[in-house]
């Protein structure tokens, strides 16, 4: 199992100034902030043998480690850059999943993963430590998305990793919402991996024009896979027979799940995976409201999409 070297603390890496106001949110020995060598501020959460790094950019979990072993995949060429996404970890796809439903010129997976979020609060209990980050749509966003909303992401690190994506409609009109916690899991080799929990579940196969199919048996990987499963999508278990490890994913507020491995051609097309065979060490299993699973949110209403990850 390859260790993921978590970005070192700012004192070791650089004297880059952190945004003002972060110090008020530190929790001694549980949560502190540092300047990541990826190019932006991150929060480091610690709970026993577990650690997580959360970038303020995109409210994106960058890694989750147990005893130093990385459980999430992050591209070795990942960078934090304004207006761009970070390849790996847990990207927040919002307010639409994948391509915009009517305008392909708009960024895939929406726009909140491309910007810095603010720290709303941090909390520590004996069971875990959490950070809540927040952003809101602006008048400048209206050309991309003609609605108003506030978005909160709460990451909680305990014996499990929990991510909650909460949307509040702050406007006067209802809007359709699709979204995902687009989680990149680190695996020993995709050939060693199977996914169970989706047997018999219908899915849309993106590789065949979103043809509607039904899963037969465990999901195995021998080529590109890009599917939106619809219906009973919790719990899902990733079996990695290399280290003989299971990752269990339980979701809430979700009626779909996405399973994706880019394989060789798409890895080359993406250009930011770090190496031509990087696809062998990653697998996306995404907790979502995607495909037919669309959330309609009326004025003042809220919806929370949640995922809980644990070592099985
Ligand atoms: O969730 C699967 C997917 O929609 C794939 O089709 C692929 O495009 C992937 O997301 C990555 O998207 P991104 O915009 O992060 O490059």
| 109 Cα nearest atom in ligand 1 | 14
Residue 5 in any domain: the answer is no
Confidence of residue 16 (pLDDT cuts 50, 70, 90): low
User: Which atom of ligand 1 is closest in space to residue 286's alpha carbon?
Assistant: 1
Domain assignment present for residue 32? The answer is: no
CB of 286 within 6 A of ligand 1: the answer is yes
User: Annotated catalytic residue: which of 47, 182, 268, 301?
Assistant: 182
pLDDT above 60 for 12: no
Q: What is the pLDDT of residue 285?
A: 98
Contacts of 58 (CB under 8 A, 6+ apart): 85, 86, 91, 92, 112, 113, 114, 115, 117
Question: What pLDDT does residue 2 have?
Answer: 40
Within a domain: 71 = no
pLDDT of residue 72: 98
Domain assignment of residue 75, yes or no:
no
pTM: predicted TM-score of the whole model, two decimal places: 0.95
Asked if residue 296 has its Cβ within 6 Å of ligand 1, the reply is no
Ligand 1 atom closest to residue 180's alpha carbon, by position in its atom list: 1
Banded model confidence at residue 19, pLDDT cuts 50, 70, 90: confident
d(CA 277, CA 203): 27
Check whether 3 has a pLDDT greater than 70: no
Q: How many Å lie between the centroid of ligand 1 and the Cα of residue 261?
A: 9
Domain count, the chain: 1
Residue 135 lies in a domain: yes
Give residue 11's pLDDT: 36
Which position among 34, 179, 250, 286 bears the catalytic label? Answer: 286
User: Ligand 1 within 6 A of 54 CB?
Assistant: no
Q: What is the mean pLDDT of residues 173-182?
A: 98
**More confident: 231 or 12:** 231
Q: Is residue 290 part of a domain?
A: yes
Using the predicted structure, report yes or no on whether residue 290 has a pLDDT greater than 60. yes
Q: Report the distance separating Cα 296 and Cα 302, nearest Å.
A: 10
**What pLDDT digit, counting tens, does each position of 134-164 carry?**
999 999 999 999 999 999 999 999 999 999 9
Domain assignment of residue 211, yes or no = yes
251 is a domain residue: yes
Q: What is the mean pLDDT of residues 36-53?
A: 97
The pLDDT of residue 6 is 43
Mean per-residue pLDDT over the chain, rounded: 94
pLDDT greater than 60 at residue 5: no
Grade residue 17 by pLDDT with cuts at 50, 70 and 90.
Answer: confident
pLDDT band at 4 (very low <50, low <70, confident <90, very high): very low
Tell me: pLDDT of 120 over 90. yes
Question: How far apart, in whole angstroms, are the C-alpha atoms of residue 230 and residue 204?
Answer: 8
Q: Which of 182, 206, 209, 283 to mutate to test the pocket of ligand 1 (most atoms within 8 A of CB)?
A: 182
Distance 122 CA to ligand 1 centre (A): 30
Average the pLDDT over 227-243 and give the result.
97
| pLDDT greater than 60 at residue 7 | no
CATH assignment at residue 161: 2.70.98.10
Q: Residue 122 and residue 108: Cα distance in Å, rounded?
A: 30
Taking residues 218-228, report their average pLDDT. Answer: 98
Out of 86, 98, 268, give the residue to mutate to test ligand 1, the one with the largest number of ligand atoms within 8 Å of its CB: 98
- Ligand 1 contact via 182 beta carbon (within 6 Å): yes
**Is 182 tagged catalytic?**
yes
Quote the domain boundaries for residue 286: 95-311
pLDDT at 82: 95
Q: Is the CB of 179 under 6 A from ligand 1?
A: no
Query: Is 159 a residue of the active site?
Result: no
Is it the case that residue 264 has pLDDT exceeding 50? yes
């Amino acid at each position: 199992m390859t260790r993921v070297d978590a970005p070192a603390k700012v004192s070791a890496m650089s004297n880059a100034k952190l945004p003002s106001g972060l110090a008020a949110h530190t929790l001694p020995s549980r949560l502190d902030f540092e300047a990541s060598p990826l190019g932006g501020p991150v929060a480091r959460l610690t709970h026993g043998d577990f650690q997580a790094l959360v970038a303020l950019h995109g409210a994106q979990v960058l890694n989750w480690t147990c005893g130093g072993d990385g459980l999430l995949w992050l591209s070795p060429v990942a960078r934090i850059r304004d207006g761009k996404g970070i390849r790996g970890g847990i990207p927040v796809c919002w307010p639409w999943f994948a391509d915009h439903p009517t305008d392909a010129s708009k960024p895939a997976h929406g726009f909140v993963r491309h910007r810095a979020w603010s720290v709303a609060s941090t909390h520590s209990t004996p069971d875990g430590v959490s950070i809540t980050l927040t952003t809101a749509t602006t008048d400048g966003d209206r050309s991309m998305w003609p609605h108003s909303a506030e978005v909160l992401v709460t990451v909680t690190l305990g014996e499990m990793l929990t991510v909650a994506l909460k949307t509040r409609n702050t406007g006067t009109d209802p809007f359709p919402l699709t979204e995902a916690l687009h989680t990149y899991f680190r695996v020993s080799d995709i050939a060693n991996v199977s996914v169970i929990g989706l047997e018999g579940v219908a899915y849309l196969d993106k590789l065949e024009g979103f043809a509607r199919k039904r899963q037969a048996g465990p999901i195995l990987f021998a080529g590109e896979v890009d599917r939106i499963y619809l219906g009973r999508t919790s719990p899902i278990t990733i079996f990695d027979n290399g280290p003989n490890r299971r990752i269990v994913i339980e979701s809430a507020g979700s009626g779909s799940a996405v399973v994706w491995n880019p394989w060789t051609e798409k890895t080359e097309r993406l250009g930011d995976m770090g190496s031509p065979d990087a696809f062998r060490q990653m697998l996306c299993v995404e907790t979502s409201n995607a495909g037919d699973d669309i959330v309609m949110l009326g004025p003042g209403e809220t919806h929370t999409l949640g995922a809980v990850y644990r070592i099985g």
